[in-house]
A and B are shown apart, each in its own frame.
Chain A
Amino acid sequence: MKDQAQQALDTAAAQGATYADARVMDIRQRYLSTKNGQAGQVRDSHSLGIGIRVIADGAWGFASTQDLSRPSIDAAAAQAVEIARASALCKKRNVRLAPEGKAIDHWEAACKVDPFTIPVSTCLDLLLKVDAELRKVKGVTLAEAALDFRKIDQVFLSSEGSEIRQVKTQTGAGFVATSFSGNEIQRRSYPNSFGGQYQTRGYELVEELDLLGHAPEIAEQAVALHQCDQCPAGEKDIILGSSQLGLQIHESIGHPIELDRVLGDEANFAGMSFLTLDKLGKLKYASDIVNVVADATVLHGPGLGTFAYDDEGVAAQCTPIIQNGLFAGYLTSRESAASIGQPRSSGAMRADGWNRIPLIRMTNVSLLPGKGKLEDLIADTNDGIYLETNRSWSIDDRRYNFQFGTEIGWEIKHGKKTRMLKNPSYGGITTEFWNSCDAICGLEEWVLWGTPNCGKGQPMQTMGTGHGASPARFRKVKVGVAYQGN
């Protein structure tokens, strides 16, 4: 892989590139799923190729190919330079990169049990047992379970002398019970919706999740939702479960802090951000107890945003994002950092494959824990709603107005979790919402969630991001908003 990347750099330089980097990526994926007692998807995939990014005539070009023969790599490198020269036809100024020292390193993410060594029959057996448990509960009309394993082996070389090899193993697991009754479809998922939990780990994650042990309760909840009351509409104090809070962080903090959005690079598709440059260090983003970091280092945990170097060869960092409620930092690239006068990239450039350029992506954007257990927080709440497990999510293209739905909720009355509520939803304006946060549970409730399906860029890239959160309380939030008027 290194030889092929080096060949690409040599050819790019010979063609006139003033900067070049090359990533060779070897990506293996295994996806196994079951549905109502049958195997669903059972598939392996393997994708290998090289992506070559260059600056020539002061502008960017990128070309990629799956054909790693010498003539093909030469052709792709030359094409990248040709594309850069075409980009220069519309440039306003030359691309400038924040300085970065060269790195020569080899890093492998910790993985206790390589999921690709677990027999497929063992995996399917587990999923089918979960499936059977779900369908034991009368009223469950659809049982679905899945395991998703990925191994990414990549080599990055740059014309500035960096040579970095990184190997990561990622594992995802989860199940869903669906119940149709009357004129209603209800779902419950474990440990999270839309695929379950994902981390940069091995099969040990699957074992720790105890999918089978949680199946009966989740199935019963899916059916029970039909009989319970609709989430009321109005203003309520709410407590968000940690996985829902993870997505709230993703949408209303993680995306707005991407500096490419702020600068307008994503204006046509993913959108921009309300966090204009004048707000850095000045905006009261959240209440004083809120502290958020973007942390790609292994010290933060095995998140989907954990790595040693980003795809520009910048070492993983922990960047303060919100400090005691004050907006403190962006996620940046070498180019965007330079454009706002910052001395160094925050190391957030990531590509989802060899055939895509790196973009500014969330690493592990996490809410730091506060104190106490969830039960203590509920006991401290007089009149509120506890909401758990995301069902729908939407936010405007500058990240002000959001609305989330969850699979389930419970009313809290006088410090006790009481009746179950169906179809819960809540909405608000980002900074008003975060400034209403008055309690965050402690480290014992903190989970580093994985969001495997974050879309951005054109062509679209799907990236995994990490979000640590423990349950937190927000005062006077509009609830029941999704069903008002319907």
Chain B
Amino acid sequence: MKQQHNEPMTLSRQSADELFSKVLKYSRAEETEASVTGTSYSLTRFANNTIHQNVSEEDINLSVRAVAGQRTARASTNKLDDDSIREVCEAALALASLQPPNPDLLPMPGPQMYRAVDRYDGETAQLSPQTRAETVRKVIQRAEKDGLTAAGVFSSGCTVHALYNSRGLAAFHEESISEFSVTMLGETSSGWAKKTGPRHQALDIDALADRAARKALRSREPREAPPGKYAVILEPSAVMDLLGFLLLDFGGLSVYEKRSCFTGRVGEKVFGENIQIRDDVFHPSSGGAPFDGEGVPRQRVSLVENGVLKNLVYCRETAHKMGAQPTGHGFPLPNEYGEAPLNLVVEGGHASEEEMIRSTERGLLVTRFWYIREVDPYAKILTGMTRDGTFWIENGEVKYGVKNFRFNQSIIEMLNQVEMMSPSERAAGEESIEMVVPKMKIREFNFSSLTKF
């Protein structure tokens, strides 16, 4: 864990192993789990065509879970000297000992086998501030070429996660991370684009900047369209930010506790027949570790087939309660939420955006949504705003930009009205985690009011 100037921290597997050896040495608990997370992260932020924030972070966190007589608790620290490790072990045990027993608590899992995923790129993990700044300078030049103002982020780094327990489980995952997002602002309009991934080379930043710029230029002097129900074409970022509100609903515990919109609907047709949704950490465009918060291997799970809700995901404890098999989607224990799919893949179609537009007599094209919140947890009505590129479509053509709308729309109903889909792609938004989703054309989407820009 020694670091040298200008080189990112690397938490090696050996370093993590050594930390866990110390945890085992100091822990007096019946069972002990240790999660070691290393973060080396840098982010260059720009606005008004200048870099205004530029930051870097190095951190290693040790989180210890202790079990004492059907009771469990967690303590964590980023102080890694021997005394601090001893203290965190004692703290976890003390917290566990002071609570009533939990009859549903299971023994920790033993050693597991994991399918490898390759999500690490050394260049991305160690990208220099100079490289990020040079890239941003090009983006700013692109903006200035058209009299626009650019704002955005370019980040890079890596995370390392090692998970161990006293029954012999040992899991290790490292992943490089990069993100580029840009908003191009005109006098009366804006355009946005974003991409994330483990390899910065694949972000295609020039194309993203160009796309955002073209959206800003095309939506200049936006007109007002009356609120109402419209056919709508949602770009992947808009789709994923809506679907993110279903993640916890797909968890077994959520249904068991009757807080899911799928309560009473498992096995039923909930969406249109053209909707297939799975959770798939092994999809080439997915991210994250191939194990869950307890170290259980993540499985591919088919959640929705032909619109029918076929399966939920389960952590070990929920699976035990509900008579199901764990799927490797549990959060670190103890927690209130149980589990959730974190690598949603929605099967796409074959339509291009142009075909969707051509087939639309009167409707809207939405780049992204903003400030989405749940209005009704069972009908799954969400509200939010359009942002950074909303366009009026008429007679099969994009005509002009329109002022932004508020929507109030049940996403269950929305997924019953999907008329066309593009091939799926890894999408990134600002309201949910990355997913693999298509563009969607929705027959009718409820835009309820307008704003002033």
Contacts and interface: CB of A to CB of B under 8 A. Distances in A.
Contacts of A459: 41, 43, 55, 57, 155
A264 B370 contact: no
B76 A46 contact: yes
A299 interface: no
Nearest to A36: B257
A486 B78 contact: no
A83 interface: yes
Interface in B136-154: 136-137, 140, 149, 151-153
B52 to A, nearest CB: 6
B129 A482 contact: no
Given A82-B129, A89-B51, A180-B259, A41 B46 contact: no
Interface stretch (B282-290, B292-300, B405-413): B405-413
B448 A484 contact: yes
Contacts of A453: none
A41 B50 CA distance: 43
Given A64-B56, A89-B137, A33 B336 contact: yes
A44 B95 contact: yes
Interface stretch (A162-170, A268-276, A411-419): A268-276
A83 B54 contact: yes
Contacts of A76: 56, 58
B446 interface: yes
A75 B334 contact: no
A43 B449 contact: no
B181 interface: yes
Given A38-B104, A62-B56, A178 B259 contact: yes
Given A394-B373, A482-B383, A41 B334 contact: yes
A458 interface: yes
Interface in A454-486: 458-459, 481-486
Nearest to A26: B79
A232 interface: no
Contacts of A87: 44, 51-52, 54, 129, 133
A161 to B, nearest CB: 25
B399 interface: no
A382 interface: no
A269 B181 CA distance: 9
Interface string B442-453: 000010111111
B289 to A, nearest CB: 20
A357 interface: yes
Contacts of A443: none
B59 A65 contact: yes
Contacts of B49: 90, 92
A258 interface: no
Contacts of B54: 59-62, 83-84, 86-87
Given A42-B99, A78-B5, A89-B133, A396 B77 contact: no
A379 interface: no
A420 B43 CA distance: 49
A193 interface: no
B51 A184 contact: no
A318 interface: no
B113 interface: no
A82 B128 CA distance: 10
B45 interface: yes
Interface stretch (B15-23, B167-175, B374-382, B417-425): B374-382
Contact of A43 (B6, B48, B51, B95): B95
A62 B52 CA distance: 11
Given A43-B95, A65-B58, A75-B5, A481 B408 contact: yes
B5 A42 contact: no
Contacts of A35: 336
A356 interface: yes
B375 A185 contact: no
Contact of A355 (B59, B413, B430): B59
A458 B153 contact: yes
B451 A398 contact: yes
A63 B5 CA distance: 11
A40 B331 CA distance: 13
A140 B64 CA distance: 34
A4 interface: no
A180 to B, nearest CB: 4
A127 B183 CA distance: 46
Interface in A134-172: 141-142, 144
A480 to B, nearest CB: 11
B322 interface: no
Contact of A396 (B55, B76, B373, B385): B385
Contacts of A429: 451-452
Contact of A392 (B4, B374, B378, B451): B374
Interface of A: 33, 35-36, 38-49, 59-67, 72, 74-76, 78-80, 82-84, 86-87, 89-92, 119-121, 124, 128, 141-142, 144, 178, 180, 183-185, 187, 263-269, 271, 274, 355-357, 391-398, 400-401, 403, 405, 423, 425, 427, 429, 458-459, 481-486
18 contacts: A38-B104, A47-B77, A62-B54, A63-B55, A65-B59, A76-B58, A180-B378, A264-B185, A355-B57, A392-B383, A396-B451, A396-B453, A401-B449, A405-B383, A425-B375, A459-B43, A481-B408, A483-B408
